[in-house]
Chains A and B, each alone.
Chain A
């Protein structure tokens, strides 16, 4: 698969969330932003869990499977890299995040925060043995998104 540029990824994600963003705006208008964020959070959790299950199915729900997946992702995307790897952990860093940029295009950084908050649900759906710890996140005002993905036997 050819390497996708960051801008192409942002454009793709912007298209993929366009309708959801429109639904979110209407919900916010009708029921207030808090309620809309609650609904968005549940929806995005399910999307992320489904993505994780598919990834686990393709690569295997093991640490090796997850590591292979991360290696594939970092070879395909130019904004994320593996900083450190051990027998049971991977540290990644993204100086830019496509979801953050895409949702900022819509002036909805709060929706990206909700999206980032679904990460624990993602890793749990991949395997209950996988955990994630955010050192910093762009959506929290950090300089990058730095994560430690750890496999706990």
Chain B
């Protein structure tokens, strides 16, 4: 099966985010941007921690298994680059992010920022030994997203 294009991916994410973006925008209007982001962050943390536990169950929770899909993505897509890699760290740069693009088109860029803020929790929920640090984020105005996952022995 051929890989879906970035635009197809964005459209799929837009369908998934439409209700959430509408809720988020109303929360901003009613409760203010900061409170809306707090609520979105707390809610998304719970979802992503759950997703990380599922992923760990599926992949075995090892660092190697976590890195492999990123290597495969880099092979398939010019938008994904493995900047550096060792036994216990991997730095990935992403030029195109469907989540950011979709949230932006839906007029809810701050919802994407809240999502990006949950990345460290996602990583620790995958395995308590894993840490994530973002260096660049599209949601902060950078041209690309770049971050490093580290495995602490």
Contacts and interface: CB of A to CB of B under 8 A. Distances in A.
Interface of A: 15-20, 22-27, 30-31, 38-40, 42-44, 46-47
Given A23-B40, A27-B39, A16 B19 contact: yes
Interface of B: 15-20, 22-27, 30-31, 39-40, 42-44, 46-47
A22 B39 CA distance: 9
Contact of A22 (B27, B30, B46): B46
B66 to A, nearest CB: 23
Given A22-B46, A23-B24, A17 B19 contact: yes
B26 A20 contact: no
Dominant secondary structure at the B interface: helix
Contact of A39 (B16, B19, B23, B44): B23
Given A23-B40, A25-B43, A30-B39, A16 B16 contact: yes
A22 B19 CA distance: 11
Given A22-B47, A39-B26, A39-B30, A47 B39 contact: no
Most chain A CB inside 10 Å of its own CB: which residue of B22, B24, B44, B47: B22
Given A20-B20, A23-B39, 16 more contacts: A17-B19, A19-B17, A19-B20, A19-B44, A22-B46, A23-B20, A24-B23, A26-B39, A26-B43, A27-B27, A30-B39, A31-B31, A44-B22, A46-B25, A46-B26, A47-B18
